[in-house]
């Protein structure tokens, strides 16, 4: 298990979290502005809901809690994600987010890490979002692999 140092040290089987927090109107508003989401359900009502992609911030919360020394020697590159949205996440809801590194592998000079994240309502345990994230942690130049291009 590699938790406790750098994100680049994460390995298969590492548990991330849980982290509890209350979804705030400020976070929803600022996230929406940062990714140019303008839908009224997220910004223009008395009871806004969080966009499903807000779960990206949860991944960062888990990284910060599990790996307090930061990214490490190599930057992360977000490759792809799949998110299943099970129910609305209303502002002022207390949630619990937890994750698990389900795979780490090398492919063409790149180190990939797959993390599965589960976001639930704290009071009821009701699942709100399940999220599968793939990142590249490291990249080596083609000459290190016999001149092959990546």
Taking the CA atoms of residue 80, residue 85, residue 86 and residue 87 in that order, the dihedral angle to the nearest 10 degrees is: 150
Round to whole Å and give the CA distance between 129 and 49.
Answer: 13
Tokens of 13: 């089987």
Mean per-residue pLDDT, 95-122: 95
Please give the average per-residue pLDDT across 36-53, as a whole number: 84
Residue 117: its pLDDT value, please?
Answer: 97
Residue 3, pLDDT score? 66
Domains present along the chain, CATH in parentheses: 7-145 (3.10.129.10)
pLDDT at 32: 87
Q: How far apart are CA 40 and CA 87, in angstroms?
A: 18
């Amino acid at each position: 298990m590699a938790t406790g140092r750098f994100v680049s040290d994460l390995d298969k089987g590492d548990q991330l979290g849980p982290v509890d927090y209350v979804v705030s109107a400020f976070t929803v508003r600022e996230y929406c502005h940062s990714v140019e989401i303008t839908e009224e359900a997220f910004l223009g009502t008395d009871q806004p809901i969080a966009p499903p992609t807000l779960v990206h911030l949860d991944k960062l919360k888990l990284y910060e809690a599990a790996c307090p020394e930061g990214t490490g020697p190599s930057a992360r590159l977000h490759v792809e994600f799949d998110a299943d949205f099970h129910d609305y996440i209303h502002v002022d809801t207390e949630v619990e987010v937890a994750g698990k590194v389900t795979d780490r592998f090398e492919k063409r000079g790149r180190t990939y890490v797959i993390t599965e994240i589960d976001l639930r309502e704290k009071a009821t345990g009701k699942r709100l979002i399940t999220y599968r994230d793939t990142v590249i942690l490291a990249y080596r130049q083609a000459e290190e692999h016999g001149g092959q291009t990546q």
